[in-house]
Structure 1
Amino acid sequence: MTGLLALGILGFSAPAPQAQDDDIRPLIEIWAEEPTRIFEAHGINLNEFRFIARPVIIFADSPNDPNFRHQMELLAERPEDLAERDVIVITDTDPANPSALRLELRPRGFMLVLIDKEGGVALRKPQPWDLRELTRSIDKSPLRQQEIEDRR
């Protein structure tokens, strides 16, 4: 990935390689150690995150898409807020080489998708979404309400 993401200047770590000889650990372990890391969509199985994390998948036709870049800037404002809510950020900016997530969720151009911990689509947005709106949407879910109660 190029641009702002590869430089790591948005508050997130560089995209994680999914399958390299030096790190064959499950993706969930890599995310648990570095919850602000951005992951590429290829090779990701959302079932691995059920009841553990809330995937936020950002689709675009190019990493240079202004909506994609703006969305990543919005998410980078406070990555700790996403980590607190068990959010894993996944990107897919290559429609010519579609990931399983792209084939399943069928975005057209830019799209943000929030998957809840139960594995269902909780939110689809065709435009960038503010971090405050995203965290409020997560915080309204029954499972998140239970998590908040359990932490008290």
Structure 2
Amino acid sequence: MSLEQTLRDSRWKKRVLLVAAPTAEQADFKSQKALLAANKAELAERDFLLMEVLYDQLSAADKEFLLKKIGVQPSQFAAVLIGKDGGVKQKSRRPIAPADLFGTVDKMPMRQQEMRRK
């Protein structure tokens, strides 16, 4: 399934954290994965879908989608938070600390509603 289709299918169901890098061996990619691995429960609580994207495994269409729609350069590390509405909420060229990620999400109106319901 294409990157665009996966994101479309996640809309209104999941928040997506897109973690992209040239290869799986890239230092920031490994660092971001390690930071997130220690916070699986918090990710699940906030309805996260973690998408690991390696540029060397992407189709030309997916690379173009990343560049034009998400604004990610296919030669650099990127961590991109995409809200349930499909909009880009946070973008970084460095790994995002889980506390920063969760802080951003917890301020969102939709997340506030979810917390009130629980």
Q: TM-score, normalised by structure 2?
A: 0.85
Q: Which structure would you say has the larger Rg?
A: 1
State the 1:135 CA deviation: 0.7
One-letter identity of the residue aligned with 2:82: I
Residues of 2 paired with 1:94 and 1:83: CA distance?
A: 26
Match in the other structure for 1:13: none
- Is the 1:42–1:99 Cα contact (8 Å) retained in structure 2? no
1:101 to partner: Cα distance: 4.8
What CA deviation, in whole Å up to 9, does each residue of 1:67-112 have, x standing for no partner?
A: 0000000011111100000000001113463375542232221000
**Deviation sequence 1:12-35 (CA, Å, 0-9, x none):** xxxxxx6xxxxxxxxxxxxxxxxx
Q: Please name the residue that 1:140 is paired with.
A: 107
1:149 correspondence with 2:116: yes
Displacement of 1:49: 1.1
Indicate which of 50, 54, 61 corresponds to 2:15.
54
The one-letter amino acid paired with 2:42 is D
Q: List alignment gaps of at least 5 residues for structure 1.
A: 1-17, 19-40
User: How many residue pairs align between the two structures?
Assistant: 112
Shift of 1:43: 7.5
Whole-angstrom distance in 1 between the partners of 2:44 and 2:63: 24
Contact 1:43-1:99 at 8 Å conserved across structures: no
Sequence identity percentage: 29
1:126: which partner in 2? 93
After TM superposition, the score normalised by the length of structure 1 is 0.67
**Whole-angstrom distance in 2 between the partners of 1:99 and 1:86:** 29
The 5-angstrom pairing of residues 61-76 of structure 1 reads 61-76=22-37
The structure where helix makes up a greater share of residues is: 2
- AA aligned to 1:78 is N
Counterpart of 2:59, as a letter, is P
Q: Report the aligned-residue RMSD.
A: 2.0
The answer for unaligned runs of 5 or more in structure 2 is none
3-state SS of paired residue (1:143):
helix
